[in-house]
Chain A
Amino acid sequence: MNSVPGIAFQILQSVFVVLAAPLLTGWVNQCRAWLQNRSAPSILLPYFTLAKLFHKDAVFARDASPIFRWTPYILFGCMWLAAGIVPVLATGLPFAPAADIIALVGVFALARMFSALAAMDVGTSFGGLGARREMLIGFLAEPAMLMTLFTAAFISGSTQLTTIVDTLAHREFALYPSLAFAAVAFLMVLLAENARIPIDNPTTHLELTMVHEALILEYSARHLALIEWAVAIKLFAYMTIGIALFLPWGIADAGDWSALPYAFAALAGKLALAGAGLALIEALLAKLRLFLAPEFLSTAFLLAVLGMLTHFLVKG
């Protein structure tokens, strides 16, 4: 497992996720524009935006502390780590045993904590508002995510994501009722964690509703670019976790170069579908009032717990 090809696969996947993540964001934006009957921007627009932001001069608030300065880098580092853990292209990556699903949820929590702290750093009222709302969403989304992953862990008898995916990918095709519950819960968590409609609207700066945008209001230039990029990687990582758990077929084993083209094609197809699906959800739904967000997420939490109980009841 710790062979040269394995490590090559690991590096390939990490770099691939980081580089490809903005493409997914561009694809979702394009689909959404089509669904809203607008002429769509280029799928490469996120890359252009990032390049533009990197070239600009950064502006800091006068009282910004080191936490504010370092958070974009820490966020990016966390997401990069996540990109290395999730089996996107292959299972059995050499780095995978270093962090299981609980640690993966921990990585996202670490990133969330730092972005909330950075938002409160300058001391504007919007930053505090964003941090408070972000943590409100996080405190329900995080356990729901854990419970979803636990359902899969119970089925495969392991908390290693790579073992889970192996087990689920190589089972005979059967409908697991517990996984169905978990899938719905996971979708809800994905929407909430990635600041998507119906929890948050990534395209608005309206103070009554914004969550994620309020968090990063103070950032500019390269720091903003890193955060936007990290957000894209996060969406990519969540989508690939979902794919790995619920549609794992076609994934390669680490070091198996011959399976790689097929794994790429399968992943691209699944992500294209998932991105279009996300755009469809966003086009169909309206944003919820902020105080309906806890209800939305507690539904997700209860569904995930129900899924887990179902596993114990029907053994499936």
Chain B
Amino acid sequence: MASSPLAGSLLVAVGWLAVAVLGLVPTNNAFFARRIAFPLGAAAGVALAAFGLQAVWLPPQILTLPLGLPDLPFHLRVDPLAGFFLMLLGSVSAGISVYAAGYFGNEPSGRLTLISLQYHVFLASMAFVLLADDAYLFMVAWETMALSSYFLVITDHQQPAIRSAGFLYLLIAHLGAIAILLCFGVLHGGRGDYTFDALRAAQLQPAWATVAFLLAFFGFGAKAGMLPLHAWLPEAHPAAPSPVSALMSGIMLKTAIYGMVRVIFDLIGNLRWEWGMVVLTVGAATTLFGVLYALMQHDLKRLLAYHSVENIGIILLGLGMSMVFIGFGHAAAGVLALIAALYHTLNHAVFKGLLFLGAGSILHATGLRNLNDMGGLIRGMPRTAFYFLIGALAISALPPLNGFVSEWLTFQAALQATILQHGVVRSLLPLFAATLALAGALTAMCFVKVYGIAFLGQAREPAHRTPVPHAGDAGRMERYGMAWLAAGCFVLGLFPSSFLLMLNRVGVSLTGQGLSEEALAGSGWLWLVPTSAGQASYSPVIFLVVIAAATLLTFLLVRRFYHGRVRFAAPWDCGYPEQTSRMQDTADAFGQPIRHVFGPLYRMDRRLPGPEDAEPRYSLKVEDRHWYWLYLPVARAAEFVSSKIALLQQGRISIYLLYSFITLIALLVFVR
């Protein structure tokens, strides 16, 4: 029993809860949180990853806990899908926890204890979301997750901006939760049994199945940050401390993807291709808007948050394609698309976690979040710069790192479109692939901007030229955390076929079918073969070896036949000797061509100085259009309705008594 993955995962989740509670006992002891709680949490994460990995290869296991309400015990279950996500949660959170041990090192002890409590409750609740096998436990864990992360977001609650960011997050999280709850209600159909087994067995009419799908898509999409419910991400991620941003963006968004796959693929089942088209359309819009808005940001963490939106869009593209293929009865192609989506889920967790941690180290060392104030950080913090570069290359989908593998798989899935019977759908799928290609190239542009402006070049403001107090490289624990995730980028990028086989297990457990025999036979540790060797193959190891060998050989040949002499001089100034560091590109300048090309998509407020201005000032504000056409009207409508309802509240006892009286009369009339 002790070695079974379910019991092990449960032990880890309870262990996280124990760590959370234990942190409270030795009060005012920051040492405990720093040296014991976070490292212990990390170790538990590694164990959870191992249990998850084990669970993928085992048949599903179930367990009923005698907890919860009377006659409503908690059901737990671990199957390959949950196992995969448990592995994601465990492995990524291990790196983040190690980092957090260093990052929160300077926090005052009271605050640190509180952060440690919320942090570990957050981790445990995510584990329970993945383990839950009935709607009741699922919702309890889901809400615990929302609340604990809300409290983590408002760690710096003294600032009003952070409080309002937290409120927005809580609001959208609960909108989503309501939709999920309603979805479970639809699936359940009044039989009184909320276990997932019962929901799975329910025979829904097509119309009700579609309603359930839409509710689940909306509800989990709100948590995942799909368009147009993404507005909380760019507010909440910058507000939270960096390890928390990494957890939320890297892992919590993924629990929403888990929920989406669990409910739509597993519980509702009988996928229809029309649903897939809905998911694809929303996914494509999310991808493009995410990256285009990311390009306009100059706050590093906001930028990363918009990239999370983009990556959720990419995952949705994969899921949508999978639903289309399965809906038309091509399970093998559907599993390939599902694998691509889940692979990207894992990849995004790793590299986005890494990037948020890197942003945290910059913030820690310099106190800066605005790219326009940074510059030349590679000289002060070379190690952080190195890890951040790995993350930047990975998210830009460049081979041979991990981001490329999942985009490659998504493209391969899209290229299967020829087998579809429906002409329109068949020619639409490649268009979604085109969206993905466009987004990938834009991401590369965005990360050239981020890396070039933050780490390269010269420090922009003279004030920061002499490094800000204690601006050094990231501390030891912070570096270990980042190194763990950076290594993950390499492992996932270089040895994709082992993960492909693992995800194939998930696909088999969900759809009953897997990749073709040919693909499984062709996928050794060296080769990635999604369909058949004649159609497509990719070998990242050979790729890396050749590129590294060619680079080194060139270096050695040049040294051998020529020389290695170097002189150092001032940069070439093109005949303008008065150049200062302020003449470098800023983050906003770098995005200017995109603003020019995609102008109508942005809401811009630009003030240009006139020729006569004595004090010329230039100001530019780029805002999310969704605020204006969606959020503000809804907010205004809510305000209007509540102001009307407020008319009822007169504050006089006689009026309230009158209301009671009228209610009584009405009840007597209608109920009799």
Residues of A within 8 A of B (CB): 54-55, 57-63, 65, 67, 70, 73-74, 76-78, 80-81, 84, 95, 97-100, 102-103, 106-107, 109-110, 112-113, 116-117, 119-129, 131-133, 135-136, 138-140, 142-143, 146-147, 150, 153-154, 157-160, 163, 207, 217-218, 222, 226, 291, 294, 301, 305, 308-309, 312-313
Contacts and interface: CB of A to CB of B under 8 A. Distances in A.
A230 to B, nearest CB: 9
Interface stretch (B139-147, B251-259, B453-461, B468-476): B453-461
B277 interface: no
A133 to B, nearest CB: 7
A147 B411 CA distance: 11
Interface in B444-459: 444-445, 447-449, 451-453, 456-458
A162 B573 CA distance: 47
Interface of B: 375-376, 378-379, 389, 393, 396-399, 404, 407-408, 411-412, 415, 418, 423, 426-427, 430-431, 433-434, 437-438, 440-442, 444-445, 447-449, 451-453, 456-458, 527, 533-539, 542-543, 546-552, 554-555, 558, 561-563, 565-574, 579, 581, 583-585, 589-590, 592-594, 596-597
Contact of B568 (A61, A126, A159, A308): A61
A188 B483 CA distance: 42
Nearest to A64: B568
A6 B378 CA distance: 44
20 contacts: A77-B554, A97-B527, A106-B398, A107-B399, A107-B547, A110-B399, A113-B448, A116-B448, A116-B452, A120-B457, A125-B583, A138-B441, A139-B438, A142-B437, A146-B433, A154-B418, A222-B558, A222-B562, A291-B596, A309-B427
Contacts of A157: 418, 535
B386 to A, nearest CB: 9
A99 B540 CA distance: 8
A113 B585 contact: no
Contacts of B569: 59-62
Contacts of A163: 534-535
A16 to B, nearest CB: 15
A74 B551 contact: yes
A110 B451 CA distance: 14
Contact of A63 (B376, B444, B572, B594): B376
Contact of B457 (A100, A123, A160, A309): A123
Contacts of A312: 423, 426-427, 430
A158 B558 contact: no
A207 B538 contact: no
Q: Would you list the 8 A-B pairs with minimal beta carbon distance, nearest first?
A: A128-B585, A123-B457, A120-B452, A77-B551, A143-B437, A123-B458, A77-B550, A135-B445
Given A110-B398, A158-B534, 8 more contacts: A58-B566, A97-B527, A109-B396, A109-B441, A124-B571, A125-B583, A143-B441, A305-B434
Given A63-B376, A106-B398, A110-B399, A294 B441 contact: no
A59 B568 contact: yes
Secondary structure at chain A's binding surface: helix, strand, loop or mixed? helix
Given A61-B570, A132-B590, A95 B550 contact: no
A124 B572 contact: yes
Contacts of A95: 542, 546
B418 A60 contact: no
A97 B539 contact: yes
Q: Which of A62, A100, A125, A226 has the most CB of B within 10 A?
A: A125
A91 to B, nearest CB: 13
A143 B435 CA distance: 8
A139 B585 contact: no
A132 B437 contact: no
Nearest to B414: A150
B554 A226 contact: yes
Contact of A99 (B399, B433, B448): B399
Contact of B571 (A122, A136, A138, A207): A122
Nearest to A110: B398
A164 B551 CA distance: 29
B396 A78 contact: no
A131 B452 contact: yes
Contacts of A84: 546
A142 B418 CA distance: 23
A315 to B, nearest CB: 10
A65 B546 contact: no
Nearest to A133: B593
Given A65-B379, A81-B550, A150-B433, A98 B399 contact: no
B444 A139 contact: yes
A129 B585 contact: yes
A132 B393 CA distance: 17
Contacts of B453: 120
Contact of B547 (A77, A133, A226): A77
B457 A57 contact: no
B579 A124 contact: yes
B367 to A, nearest CB: 21
Contacts of B571: 61-63, 122-124, 218
B551 A76 contact: yes
A61 B379 CA distance: 14
Given A58-B566, A60-B566, A143-B441, A126 B550 contact: no
A123 B408 contact: no
